[in-house]
A = this chain, B = another copy of it.
Amino acid sequence: MIVGRALQIFAVPGIPEIVEGADLAAIFADALAAARMATEAGDVFVVAQKVVSKAEGAVVRLADVTPSDRAAAWANTHGKDAATVEIVLRESTRIVRMERGVIISETRHGFVCANAGVDSSNVPPGRVTLLPRDPDASASRLRDAMMSRLGHAAAVIVADTFGRPWREGVVNVAIGIAGLQPLDDWRGRSDRFGRRMHSTIVAVADEIASAAELVMGKTMGTPLAVVRGAAQWTGNGSAATLVRPATMDMFR
């Protein structure tokens, strides 16, 4: 078979429940070894935000939170848990919408998403996870540790599923990046008619995160995927680059 460009994406099986303080790189390397999955330079590891938050202890016990009057009132009106609402408000720097029982807000990272990324799914009862405080740093630490264990270059994306305006359903996006350029800028390259392209910048890190989600799923206990064939985008990068500055955002 003669192929052009190709991509392979593998879910890594056998990763146990992650608890605070867990050494993700050690656990991931062990799971790769147990599954006899060889990795190679240029592989991109896509890691679910949930396990990064758990390992880093970005988990809050609802019983430890005293809701503000605002959180309690809104939670009561909408049949939500007041402590969870309180945590969402604390994690938000700006409320985009707060109605119909849903809070869309901006996080301190600049991400706009539901509930500021606060999530109770796949978390022990009575607890919620927060987004990692600095997901790029989380990705960078994990990358260094994975490279050390595996003995080759690699990139890491910390990913979470975000809703989007205008379109149904969530898609996985990159919230932390290490060793990867998040954007591929086609501006200045020529199209097939020799004309210079303009205004085409592709968010490849988000596309890689979305691709990985297809093998990770939501309840399958597979928080790690290996994406092979994306080595052309390895390099220095930050997920902060994916956050559109408010002044440049025509949708706000």
Q: Which chain B residues lie closer than 8 Å to A7 at the CB level?
A: 7-9, 211, 214-215
Q: What 1/0 mask marks residues of chain A from 112 to 138 whose CB sits below 8 Å from any chain B CB? A: 101000001111110000000000000
Identical copies of this chain, number: 2
In the complex, chain B residues whose CB is within 8 Å of the CB of A161: 200, 202
Q: Which residues of B contact A222 (CB under 8 A)?
A: 4-5
User: Which residue of B97, B170, B171, B244 contacts A210 across the interface (Cβ within 8 Å)?
Assistant: B171
Write the chain B residue with the least CB distance to A213. B207
Cβ of A249 under 8 Å from chain B: yes
Interface of A: prevailing SS: loop
A121: contacting residue among B38, B122, B191, CB under 8 A: B191
B4 and A193 contacting across the interface, CB-CB below 8 Å: no
Tally of A interface residues using CB under 8 Å: 85
Q: A189 contacts which chain B residues (CB < 8 A)?
A: 218-219
Interface centre among A168, A242, A244, A252, by most chain B C-beta atoms within 10 angstroms, is A168
Instruction: Spell out A's residues near B (CB within 8 Å).
Output: 1-13, 17, 35-38, 96-97, 99-100, 102, 104, 111-112, 114, 120-125, 161, 164-173, 182-183, 186, 189-193, 195, 197, 199-204, 206-208, 210-211, 213-222, 229-230, 241-244, 249-252
